[in-house]
Amino acid sequence: MRPMIQFVKDNLEGTLTGAEVGVAQCTHANSILRNLDCDLYLVDKWEQDFTIEHAMSKLKGEANFTPSDSVEGASRFPDGLFDFVYIDADHTYEGVKRDIIAWLPKVKTGGVIGGHDYSVEYTGVMNAVNELVPEATIIKTDWYWRKKQCV
């Protein structure tokens, strides 16, 4: 289990509402579903290596699929809906910045935002997280932050 999901498991109770942004073939989405009691929303353009049909075949109705650009996808959800949002989409500085700005308002106060690939291989991720979420916890290559107030 990735560190952010372990944190969510250890700190949030009940049936959770979560999102993964950047899903590919559902490898991590599958792990989230095996480890958390949650309604999971999956957002991806599915324009690169995998099709949405391939992704959906992996989870067979266990999650809600939103084929969309990340920022456009975020606009489909009300603010404060999610207990957690896990970002693993466009790894450029501008891309991660856009995603954090779009998805942070969608996380409820007390919820958790974070993502993958905070590492020297992806300096864009590191720089965007350092700038926008300076209090983030970093474990292995996950970053996450428990939201303290509405933004």
Residues contributing to the site for ligand SAM (CB under 6 A): 20, 22-24, 27-28, 44-48, 69-70, 88-90
Residue 2: CB minimum distance to ligand SAM, A: 8
Nearer to ligand SAM (CB atom), residue 57 or residue 109: 57
Q: Based on CB atoms, which residue is closest to ligand SAM, 48 or 149?
A: 48
Give the separation between CA 58 and CA 55, rounded to whole angstroms: 5
Range list of β-strands (E), 75-141: 82-87, 107-115, 137-139
Cα–Cα dist 54/134, whole Å: 36
Choice between 23 and 136, CB closer to ligand SAM = 23
The span from the CA of 85 to the CA of 74, in Å, is 10
Question: Which residue's CB is nearer to ligand SAM, number 20 or number 83?
Answer: 20
Shortest distance in whole angstroms from residue 45 CB to ligand SAM: 4
**Phi (first) and psi of residue 37, to 5 degrees:** -85, 105
Are 91 and 116 spatial neighbours (Cβ–Cβ below 8 Å)?
no
User: In the bound complex, what is the minimum distance in angstroms from residue 94's beta carbon to ligand SAM?
Assistant: 10
Question: CB of residue 34 vs ligand SAM: minimum separation in angstroms?
Answer: 13
